[in-house]
Amino acid sequence: MATAGGPLWSHLAAWDELLVPVSVESGRDGLDLGEGWTGRWTVTWKTGGDQVSCLVRDLVRTPMVDGDPIRCFSWQREQCHRPGLQFLVSTGRHHGAESL
């Protein structure tokens, strides 16, 4: 637990201490959420290198497990940060990570 005015170290913090709550309502004003919006809006992602789309209302019936990663971790000479994969014991898998 962090002390008032002191640093909050992520390895000692609880999840709710790292969370900054933001109201979803603040972004809703510009959205057209009238009747049938789930049949007008589409979602697009990549699976096996191919682009796939479906209506928002059909997402519940769409297998997302085969989707490609949202972000690739590439590396180039003279790049300031070093992207790569980090093994997390909590999930038993490698996850993308970056360091300076």
Question: What DSSP line would sit under 6-56, residue for residue?
Answer: S---TTT--HHHH-----THHHHTT----TTHHHH-EEEEEETTEEEEEEG
Three-state secondary-structure class, residue 97: strand
Average pLDDT of the segment spanning 20-32? 77
The answer to whether residue 18 scores a pLDDT higher than 60 is yes
Strand duo 50-55 + 82-88: pairing: unpaired
Helix (H/G/I), strand (E/B), else coil: 3: coil
Where in the chain are the domains? 37-67, 69-100
Task: Name the 3-class secondary structure at 88.
Answer: strand
Q: What does pTM read for this prediction?
A: 0.43
Q: Which residue has the higher pLDDT, 2 or 67?
A: 67
For the stretch 41-95, pLDDT in tens is: 998 888 877 888 889 999 888 777 777 766 666 667 777 777 778 888 888 888 8
CB 41 within 8 A of CB 56: yes
Q: Which of the given ranges, 11-15, 25-29, 51-55, has the highest pLDDT on average? A: 51-55
For residue 57, give the 3-state DSSP assignment.
helix
